[in-house]
Chain A
């Protein structure tokens, strides 16, 4: 078995569920999350890269999940602009989310894809704004705006059920940021 196949097998057998759990923070449906993981795995291993171990490979897959998610969101936006038949995530009403109480999933669903991606990278992956911008290929100003809008919405929906870190908080856990080459 080739080296990349051994690594693929290790990632799939040991980290698949965690990857789906991660992708499901971005995607609203589990089926979409599974698709994101599959696509990210193919993207990661289709190029002749060498990873030192499964941890490094998984970090790359996570980066590919984020990229794939935003690529899809951008495409959906374009299509939505051309057709009224396609619903956008933004269409979910705040009222619908508001009744969910501490349902974090419902609160995340109330965010736009860009707001959601920035929120997950900032508060789940613990990336500073600068790295969020680099990961999502956005300007830092845009990231700050998406975060501000997202947090405002989340605060309104989650109310006192959630507390928020102060602005100065940095990453609380070490994370591996994989820099993508230009495609």
Chain B
């Protein structure tokens, strides 16, 4: 006698349901495992959202570059070059400003008081503390889940080189800060992924001084304070494409001081600002080019740049850029502006240097170069982790340093680096201070991952290709 196939299927499912019930694990154990996995997934999702916001803004994380901030850069005369942008910058635009700064004095809302016990203890920040900061200080974003309340707590900390914490009275996503000052740029987390407003805030008080808004139908894809702190640099991009519609430099009242016309971008990045904030390397799909970030005058690029090349990051304050080209087997450094000397002795002088680094078979790419204790080091990073290598010249000899893979280098500062620590499952473990030559290590911030608290680190977490300060010795 035949049975309806539907009945056969249901019968099979019932048999297997009984089998599963007979062999079911302890539900408490399974629930514990599931809760942990779900919380991690939730945290990763939230962190990714925050990281995406930082990635949208090229300046990204607030990690401070390991270079002295220069005096305001005077306008550079335009230099003719085959590889400079052809568009003409304008320092005295006739068009009225579309940005509408709104000076307000509204304190940013502090993080939830219920989170106080779960976040690192910290001193309140003061104007004096901020004024005393230098390039060795960082700002770290911290996130934690409060298990009982299903609540996400976030906080921003100013962290000294010795691991002292100062709580900042802001709750928005912080995308730029000038060390030695209380000026910072914030964006609303709720605005991710389309950022239409950037707020200039005072980190000592949490007050918003001004808000800069993108024109209708556009978003802000680059936001940075100018080197002198007297203005902001913004890129307005089309909401529906990767095209930059306009670059502008504004004063703090929103008046347009300089602007640069639009261009299509590669990898959704308008450009890469140099660590000293003087030069913007354009990521234009049609050509590479560099602009003086003060007046958008073209800056010469020396060497051949094919469209198969990608910028891996600034190697120093504003003179050398790491480049990888698909058509060439080695990483290279290209000069920006007038000729500079890369490295010492055998590195020689010239407009373009082949670092001699063969492309890493594991896919790691050059992210930074630094001079630590007189030794020339390069840092490469990829899915297989981070390596430090010592360069002995430009003959391609690079000797890996014997260091554990602690995480992703976020900042190079003088002789040392700051890492965003990575755990076995790829999650963030905190911020680590590391001297790659001596191996000295300090844990500046250690994340808690235990009963009741699941924490994540929002910064420093540089997006791919983010400029890193280096210590290539250079002279202009």
Residues of A within 8 A of B267 (CB): none
Q: Considering the chains assembled together, what is the distance between the CA atoms of A2 and B149 in angstroms?
A: 6
Residues B17 and A163 in contact, CB atoms below 8 Å apart: no
Residues A161 and B38 in contact, CB atoms below 8 Å apart: no
Q: Is A160 an interface residue (CB 8 A)?
A: yes
Residues of A within 8 A of B27 (CB): 9, 12-13, 16
The 7 closest A-B pairs by CB, nearest first: A21-B17, A2-B150, A46-B41, A20-B20, A17-B21, A21-B16, A17-B20
Q: Is B19 an interface residue (CB 8 A)?
A: yes
Q: A13-B27, A21-B20, A47-B45 are in contact. Are A2 and B13 (CB under 8 A)?
A: no
Residue of B nearest to A5 (CB): B35
Residues of B within 8 A of A165 (CB): 4-6
Q: A46-B42, A105-B12, A123-B5 are in contact. Are A20 and B17 (CB under 8 A)?
A: yes
Residues B34 and A42 in contact, CB atoms below 8 Å apart: yes
Interface string of A19-57 (1 = CB under 8 A from B): 011101100001001100010011001111000000000
List CB contacts (< 8 Å) of B1-31 with chain A.
2-6, 8-21, 23-24, 27, 30-31
Q: A4-B150, A8-B34, A47-B45 are in contact. Are A18 and B6 (CB under 8 A)?
A: no
Residues of B within 8 A of A164 (CB): 4-5
Q: Considering the chains assembled together, what is the distance between the CA atoms of A70 and B388 in angstroms?
A: 42
The main secondary structure of chain A at its interface with chain B is helix
| A contact residues, total (Cβ < 8 Å) | 44
Q: Considering the chains assembled together, what is the distance between the CA atoms of A164 and B13 in angstroms?
A: 18
The 13 listed contacts between A and B (C-beta, < 8 Å) are A17-B21, A21-B17, A21-B20, A38-B37, A42-B34, A46-B38, A46-B41, A47-B45, A104-B8, A104-B12, A105-B12, A164-B5, A165-B4
Q: Is A86 an interface residue (CB 8 A)?
A: no
Residues A163 and B150 in contact, CB atoms below 8 Å apart: no
Q: Known pairs A162-B3, A163-B3; list 11 more (Cβ under 8 Å).
A: A21-B19, A24-B13, A25-B12, A30-B20, A41-B38, A42-B34, A124-B10, A154-B5, A163-B4, A163-B5, A165-B5
Residues B20 and A124 in contact, CB atoms below 8 Å apart: no
Q: Considering the chains assembled together, what is the distance between the CA atoms of A154 and B31 in angstroms?
A: 38
Q: Is B148 an interface residue (CB 8 A)?
A: yes
Q: Considering the chains assembled together, what is the distance between the CA atoms of A42 and B37 in angstroms?
A: 7
Q: Is B147 an interface residue (CB 8 A)?
A: yes
> Chain A CB within 10 Å — which of B5, B10, B27, B33 has the most?
B5
The main secondary structure of chain B at its interface with chain A is helix
User: Taking the nearest CB of chain B, how far is it from the CB of A64, in angstroms?
Assistant: 13
| B contact residues, total (Cβ < 8 Å) | 36
User: Taking the nearest CB of chain A, how far is it from the CB of B52, in angstroms?
Assistant: 15
Q: Considering the chains assembled together, what is the distance between the CA atoms of A177 and B191 in angstroms?
A: 32
User: Taking the nearest CB of chain A, how far is it from the CB of B451, in angstroms?
Assistant: 14
Residues A123 and B9 in contact, CB atoms below 8 Å apart: yes
Residues of B within 8 A of A30 (CB): 16, 19-20, 23
User: Taking the nearest CB of chain B, how far is it from the CB of A106, in angstroms?
Assistant: 10
User: Taking the nearest CB of chain A, how far is it from the CB of B264, in angstroms?
Assistant: 26
Residues B5 and A21 in contact, CB atoms below 8 Å apart: no
Residue of A nearest to B8 (CB): A104
Residues of B within 8 A of A20 (CB): 16-17, 20
Residues of B within 8 A of A124 (CB): 6, 9-10, 13
Q: Considering the chains assembled together, what is the distance between the CA atoms of A126 and B7 in angstroms?
A: 12
Residues of A within 8 A of B20 (CB): 16-17, 20-21, 24, 30, 33-34
Residues B31 and A12 in contact, CB atoms below 8 Å apart: yes
Of the residues B4, B5, B10, B35, contact of A8 by C-beta under 8 Å: B35
User: Taking the nearest CB of chain B, how far is it from the CB of A126, in angstroms?
Assistant: 7
Interface string of B76-110 (1 = CB under 8 A from A): 00000000000000000000000000000000000
Q: Is A1 an interface residue (CB 8 A)?
A: yes
Q: Considering the chains assembled together, what is the distance between the CA atoms of A22 and B15 in angstroms?
A: 10
